[in-house]
Amino acid sequence: DLSLAETATGVALLAKRIGVNQAAERLGKHKTWCSRMVGIGELWAPVQQLVQQRKITSLDVAHELGNLHSIAPKAAEQFVGYFAEPPSWRDGAPTREEIRKRIESEKTVIAREAEDQRQREQRAANPQPTEQAERKAPTLTPDQQASLDREAEEERISVLAGRIAVQARCEAHDL
């Protein structure tokens, strides 16, 4: 049996000679699979090294770690560290699904930070209205304001609960 690194190298050589589509046809594989195999050589260097060392044997896991590194380098470093120096073998390496959950968690954090930044910029561009304008602006009843505050708090709790669940899963694997 060929390792993931050996397979990726062979597919990359074949694809370079005849193209990804023809390589896929000749190998009886989908062109996406061939493209991803060729892409192993373009992944973040620590992931490539772990593939070479046969510490990562899954094409999907290798690519998900590359994706995680592109959006959250520190989180990716934690996962790579786990593969590089696994704890006494082995409650199981992080799975593709666990890495994807971390990616989604990181995307949520990034989106929240981007929205917060957008709101800060918007407030800076539109300074607070004058006292006279404030008097004309409709005001919320205390019940309406309390309801809005509850909804905002529930949203924050939901996001935090998701992050805590992913972090707990990572800590269970010493990530």
Contacts of residue 72, defined as CB under 8 A and 6 or more positions apart, other chains included, come to 102, 103, 106, 110
| Residues in contact with 148: Cβ distance below 8 Å, sequence separation at least 6, in sequence order | 140
The whole-angstrom separation of Cα 98 and Cα 64 is: 10
pTM for the model? 0.63
The string of pLDDT tens digits covering residues 55-112 is 999 999 999 999 999 999 998 998 888 887 755 545 667 888 888 998 999 999 888 8
**Residue 143 has what pLDDT?**
86
Q: Which residues, at least 6 apart from 84, have a Cβ–Cβ distance to it below 8 Å?
A: 46, 50, 55
Instruction: Band the pLDDT of 3: cuts 50, 70, 90.
Output: very high
Q: Quick one: what percent of the chain has pLDDT higher than 90?
A: 46
